[in-house]
Structure 1
Amino acid sequence: MIEAMSMQDLTDKNSAEYKALRDKDRQIQKELMDVSDQIRARHPKLVEHQDAAGMAIFLISIGGMILNAVLWLEGVMPGWMVIVLSAFWTSLLHELEHDLIHYMYFRKQPFWHHLMMAGVYLARPLTQNPWIRRYLHLHHHKVSGTETDLEERGITNGERWDWKRFLMVGDNMLAFYLRAGKYFVVPKKLLKQGKIDRTDLKNLRIIGALSFNPIGYICYTIWHGFVLFHIANGIAWMVGANISWPEWLLAQEGWVTAVVVTLIAPNVLRTFCLHFISSNMHYYGDNAPGIIHQQCQVMNKWYLIPLQLFCFNFGSTHAIHHFVVRDPFYIRHLSEKESHEVLRRHGIRFNDMGTFKRANRLNERTA
């Protein structure tokens, strides 16, 4: 148990305690790989035609979003339904992007691989550039739960729960501006503490600069303007007043509403659901570096279903991925029941809701 280990044990990879933790990881991985092999044997076509399966899901999801937009523009489908259904399609596209980051589709056919990467990006413009995210995500697997896990830290993992974290969970732009000072202070602090070297510091700064997403910031600016415009009108209506907006602003209302309903709002909904689940199912700060079974839990309570719908059951299946990286998301979902039995048998936490009050620490703080 991590509670019985000293900080030296946590970082000393030659200690007997650390080796025992690694052995546990290997055993869990072996048993989960056996489950994966059984699923693959039951569904050989999904393995043999993995590229085709990925492309089919990609085209169906993009087609679903386009169809929703057309039906809304024709007055057939209400806006709220477009937002909900397109959020579901973007959750599938997120799973595809994650698989693409791990080179699971068209590894030997770069044109189709990068075409899919561009497609999942343009359909989810609030997200980070996937070619940049690839570096961050592969780094996340190596250092999950530590201060240099930029991917999870970026979506508020390890932050105290308050109004600020609530806003940052669903808004990448606010997540940057509400913590802008940390981006200048924290890397130098890590360097001073010896947790990174000067090469790491340079890489962190380069990745930070490249992570700037102008497309996403334009979309967030439109979103913020749309929300504030309607809030102001709502307040004015309640007090019996009327706001005299300039004509040039009112002239933008049509196209702005169309972009928000068909593209931006579905992605805001999906982003909030994914980041809420992901940032709270991962542990931070007091887990042994590199020890997979201390990196995350399984979150599958029934009352999380509304959130899980828009991140494709991420909370229930992502812990499996930390142990078995090779499987595309649909294999992981098919193996869910048997994989959960393995995880339970080895003491992986399920629905540890205390993570919210512990700021995602694995254990209660002792000081």
Structure 2
Amino acid sequence: MKVMEKTIETDHPNTDQEKIATVTRSITEHGNYLRKRYPILQHQNALGASVMVFSLAGMVVTGGLYLTGYIPAWMCILINALLTSFIHEIEHDLIHRLYFRKQPLAHNAMMFFCWLARPGMPSPWLRRNLHFHHHKESGTDTDVEAWITTSGNPWGILRLLKLMDGFVFGFLNAVFAPGWRQKVRLLGKIIRLNTPFGLLYWGCWYVFLGYHLYVGFGSIIGAEVHSSAATLALMDVVNSAVVILIAPNMIRQFCLFFISSNMHYYGDVAPRNALQQTQVMNAWWLWPFQLFCFNFGSTHSIHHFVVRDPFYLRQMTAPYAHKVMAEAGVRFNDFGTYKRANRFSMGHSQTRSRG
């Protein structure tokens, strides 16, 4: 009888931890099955490096085609936004040491090129600890990574602006922090996290916005704007950088943060409970956003159960994983999260929020 009771309990898990263990085991076993069925998946390092080289080379080629006039600016921006979404997934896998774990030179070189292609983000080496903590304490008050993507904030114009411009978001948080010591500490952290590439990235973006707003306003009021040869030469460089690198990353980051901040629950999540940490967001109307963050809303929840699988394998396991996760109680397309400021509790209204 005792043996039978144990078997029934295993086959029909009751507690959340039992359900989590069942989901993790099932997805892991399915991933192993796919690796055996498609032997190429066993060459994880080569696949990761190939995607990396393809994406970087694609950005260089697309940028060259734009500079030589073969493609318009909008096409360059959209193509590079797609390519940077691949690079983001590669960086995320690298943070979990899924490529070249035992070859630090190759591993760190890939990390560096990921950072170079997405210069508006902090160093991936600095982000690693934050991300590991995100997995341990996802959705709790100490989950800084979730908070950075605006999870837990009431929806409105302010949250939308934060999603569009992370640097201003961080700067305003520092300015309005209580006490000058806290202000100085936060400002120092922002500068440290954005040195050196982030400062160049955001500086270039604000020069671009400032100059074109100035010229546009002058045109509206009928005033002639005369720019020096040096200014025009500088703006040629700035405009090119915006089209090839900055605007694509702005689109990618907005789409990623919009999806990520809404699929993660925040504020009332039970500690280390993967059933409550995320939901699956795969409604058809989200595809314009999913397109530029590599279907993040549909597959990232899988990662909270099984960390070891790279991003392309999560895409392959998704149909099976979704069934297992749904049976365990993971939510799908819970758009009430917009009204609840990402609270897990269905009866929770917008209350406090950080930032």
TM-score category, normalised to shorter length: 0.7 to 0.9
Q: 1:251 deviation in Å?
A: 3.3
Cα separation, 2, equivalents of 1:239 and 1:279? 40
**Superimposed CA distance per residue, residues 291-340 of structure 1 (whole angstroms, 9 cap, x where no aligned partner):** 01100001111111111111100010000000000001111111111111
Q: Classify the secondary structure of the residue corresponding to 2:15.
A: helix
Cα separation, 2, equivalents of 1:313 and 1:348? 18
Q: 1:236 deviation in Å?
A: 3.2
Matching residue of 1:16: none
Aligned counterpart in structure 2 of residue 350 of structure 1, from 325, 329, 332: 332
| Distance change in 2, residues 1:182/1:278 (3 Å) | farther
Cα separation, 1, equivalents of 2:23 and 2:176? 36
Alignment pair present for 1:37 and 2:16: no
Cα separation, 2, equivalents of 1:214 and 1:247? 28
Q: 1:23 deviation in Å?
A: 1.9
Aligned counterpart in structure 2 of residue 362 of structure 1, from 337, 341, 344: 344
Amino acid at match of 1:365: H
Aligned counterpart in structure 2 of residue 162 of structure 1, from 156, 179, 182: 156
Q: Classify the secondary structure of the residue corresponding to 1:82.
A: helix
Q: Classify the secondary structure of the residue corresponding to 2:27.
A: helix
Alignment pair present for 1:117 and 2:111: yes
The sequence identity of aligned pairs, in percent, is 45
Amino acid at match of 1:237: S
Cα separation, 2, equivalents of 1:153 and 1:39? 35
Q: Classify the secondary structure of the residue corresponding to 1:277.
A: helix
Alignment pair present for 1:69 and 2:63: yes
What value does the CA root-mean-square deviation take over the aligned residues?
Answer: 2.3
Cα separation, 1, equivalents of 2:45 and 2:189? 30
Greater displacement, 311-320 / 36-45? 36-45
Cα separation, 1, equivalents of 2:178 and 2:330? 36
Q: Is the 8 A contact 2:149 2:257 kept in 1?
A: yes
The normalised TM-score by structure 2 is: 0.88
Cα separation, 2, equivalents of 1:218 and 1:209? 11
The normalised TM-score by structure 1 is: 0.85
Alignment pair present for 1:26 and 2:26: no
Aligned counterpart in structure 1 of residue 127 of structure 2, from 125, 130, 133: 133
Matching residue of 2:277: 295
Amino acid at match of 1:253: M
Cα separation, 2, equivalents of 1:182 and 1:104? 39
Cα separation, 2, equivalents of 1:208 and 1:43? 44
Cα separation, 2, equivalents of 1:232 and 1:182? 28
Q: 1:28 deviation in Å?
A: 1.7
| Distance change in 2, residues 1:212/1:259 (3 Å) | closer
Q: Is the 8 A contact 2:171 2:187 kept in 1?
A: no
Aligned counterpart in structure 1 of residue 320 of structure 2, from 300, 315, 338: 338
Q: Is the 8 A contact 1:277 1:315 kept in 2?
A: yes
Q: Classify the secondary structure of the residue corresponding to 1:340.
A: helix
Counterparts in 2 of 1:1-367, with a 5 A limit?
Answer: 20-47=15-42, 49-181=43-175, 210-245=192-227, 248-363=230-345, 364-365=347-348
Q: 1:155 deviation in Å?
A: 1.5
Amino acid at match of 1:322: H
Q: Is the 8 A contact 1:273 1:307 kept in 2?
A: yes
Structure 1 gap segments, 5+ residues each? 1-18, 189-201
Q: 1:284 deviation in Å?
A: 0.2
Q: Classify the secondary structure of the residue corresponding to 1:335.
A: helix
| Distance change in 2, residues 1:147/1:221 (3 Å) | same
| Distance change in 2, residues 1:111/1:309 (3 Å) | same
| Distance change in 2, residues 1:233/1:205 (3 Å) | closer
